[in-house]
Chains A and B, each alone.
Chain A
Amino acid sequence: MAAASLPGKFLNRAPSIIPGFGLTMGITVSWLSFIVLLPLVALVLRATGIGFEGFAAMLGDQRVLSALKLSFGAALAGALINAFAGLIIAWVLVRYTFPGRRLVDGLIDLPFALPTAVSGLALAALYAPNGWLGVPLAELGIKVAFTPTGVVIACMFIGLPFVVRQVQPVLGDVDKALEEAAATLGATRVQTIFRVILPMILPALLAGFALAFARAVGEYGSIIFIAGNLPFKSEIAPLLIIIKLEEFNYEGATAIAVIMLLLSFAVLLAVNLLQSWGRRRTGLGS
């Protein structure tokens, strides 16, 4: 390429005859700075202006607390349900052959591909009091739309592929010989699954759980239509950020955003630690 790579040890680079390092690294760093780093710096700058009192005031606001509790609580519940269902789906997809397996496998990614506003509308229509699922659920005395349950349903919808796609490849890599060994040594199938296979896929399952959780915490589009957004009851934290912005309360919006980001990054850090721990332990899924 036209721009010769910079001589010497730019960024401590090992020598190579491949050209284009200067050009591609230049594009990468400048585009990354402009699109990702600069906006995040703006957030950090604004957050430092709020001070400790500002954050304390936000955390003392009952409405903010309820929203944060709902966002994190519903995301946790949704991710737990997804960990259970996702594990079974991954198991069935990897281990069994059955009619429509490829179709099922392809459909798992629907929540990734479907725009969040569309999933939001669809869930609201399904679980509305006169909806296909809302009517039978109402007869059972269960109200979903405009309640925290609706928020959990939306979190379940968007989080499912994370668990399945994390567990699937690792489960596929599990050596059948280990199961055969367990069976030969007299283990029942249930023992083999719980003592041999599950420990091996546990790190991937936890990683999928955490990714589903992190996604659901910040989710907006899929949730707001079904949630009904009643303050203190079914109002999620991302919506509260938008409400603060519309009131020109930039400090408030920034404070909620920073609190959410710090909590989410803690979760993602845990994911990375879990994954590297799992890889060291089992040598799978790397």
Chain B
Amino acid sequence: MSVSDNPVSETSFVRRALVTFVYGWLVLFLILPLVVVFVEALRQGIEPFFAALIEPDALTAIKLTLLVSAIAVPANLIFGLAASWAIAKFQFRGRNMLITLIDLPFSVSPVISGLVFVLLYGANGLFGQFLITHKLQIIFAVPGIVLATIFVTFPFVARQLIPLMQAQGNDEEEAALSLGATGFRTFLSVTLPNIKWALFYGVLLCNARAMGEFGAVSVVSGHIRGYTNTMPLHVEILYNEYNFVAAFAVASLLALLALVTLVLKSLLEWRDARNGKISAH
């Protein structure tokens, strides 16, 4: 056994063994699942791959996914800005309670997140009768998918901004206000530049989850092909029809989205680490 020359680290044998363990674990449990998606998607070559992506049902699924995220992400962006301003800039009783409530959707199973909207707006739900008389459909339609997506992505932006804005305090805003800036001007010229990267980070994670949400959307969508199928739901249908190449082709698009998200996230974190700013975690 080799003796470590450094009393506060492990022997080089142990270090090497642990690094090997980490690489082994990563390859087995993270990299292989990622690689298999692309390999399966391209199994029969490039043509069936693209054919699966431009087929009409796939295109409607892609469009619906983009539409849902185009509504859900700005909704949570505005909410996140408002919530973090109210919570971080002011002292009031019940702040921690409010933060807990905002975080709540993270601790609810995606399936239950869908279920609560069925219980609320479904034909048999709390507002079911009202919606039927007014010929409004939410469940098994696009509004339900949007609502369920907003629910599961609810905390993303707010939870990035609140700790950062709390750490930054009010000094700069108070200076701007006392120099005569309006509240809105202060927000735009003082607060926003300070939080823009955390905001981008929150939006990035929110968007990834919004486009990829499966469980909650699955419950409220009704799986109506070419109408209420998002990309993840389309993947499931293709897979259940044993159309594996097409399923993995659409899945590989979502995997690409995840990779882009990860790269941007890492770039932001390295940037923060270099600038010695508060970590986003």
The residues of A with any CB-CB pair to B shorter than 8 Å are 1-2, 10-14, 16-21, 23-25, 27-28, 31-32, 35-40, 42-43, 45-46, 85, 88-89, 91-93, 95-96, 98, 100, 102, 104-123, 125-126, 131-133, 156-157, 160, 165, 169, 176, 179-180, 183-184, 189, 192, 214, 217-221, 225, 238-239, 241-242, 245, 248, 250, 253-254, 257, 260-261, 264-265, 268
**Is B116 touching A39 in the complex (CB atoms < 8 A)?**
yes
**Is B281 touching A165 in the complex (CB atoms < 8 A)?**
yes
**Is A18 touching B174 in the complex (CB atoms < 8 A)?**
yes
Given contacts A18-B90, A42-B116, contact A126 B33 (CB under 8 A): yes
The residues of B with any CB-CB pair to A shorter than 8 Å are 4, 7-11, 15, 18-19, 21-23, 25-26, 28-34, 36-37, 40, 75, 78-79, 81-83, 85-87, 89-94, 98, 101-102, 104-105, 107-112, 115-120, 122, 124-126, 147, 150-151, 154, 170, 173-174, 177-178, 182-184, 187, 205, 208, 211-215, 218-219, 231-233, 235-236, 239, 244, 247-248, 251, 254-255, 257-259, 261-263, 265-266, 270, 279, 281
**Is B150 touching A35 in the complex (CB atoms < 8 A)?**
yes
Contact among B40, B117, B232, B244 for A117, CB-based, below 8 A: B232
Q: Say whether chain B's binding surface is mostly helix, strand, loop, or mixed.
A: helix
Bound together, the chains give a CA A42 to CA B19 distance in angstroms of 50
Bound together, the chains give a CA A107 to CA B233 distance in angstroms of 25
Given contacts A11-B92, A13-B91, A31-B79, contact A114 B34 (CB under 8 A): yes
**Is A25 touching B86 in the complex (CB atoms < 8 A)?**
yes
Contact among A12, A36, A169, A221 for B110, CB-based, below 8 A: A221
Given contacts A18-B174, A116-B215, contact A88 B18 (CB under 8 A): yes
**Is B32 touching A220 in the complex (CB atoms < 8 A)?**
no
Contact among B87, B126, B247 for A42, CB-based, below 8 A: B126
**Is B126 touching A13 in the complex (CB atoms < 8 A)?**
no
A2, chain B: closest CB distance, angstroms: 8
**Is A121 touching B22 in the complex (CB atoms < 8 A)?**
no
Top 3 nearest A-B pairs by Cβ distance?
Answer: A218-B109, A115-B212, A19-B183
**Is B147 touching A109 in the complex (CB atoms < 8 A)?**
no
Bound together, the chains give a CA A245 to CA B173 distance in angstroms of 51
Contact among A40, A106, A157, A260 for B116, CB-based, below 8 A: A40
**Is A20 touching B98 in the complex (CB atoms < 8 A)?**
no
**B89: chain A residues within 8 A (beta carbon):** 16, 18, 20-21
Given contacts A92-B22, A218-B112, contact A121 B215 (CB under 8 A): no
Given contacts A121-B251, A220-B214, contact A21 B86 (CB under 8 A): yes
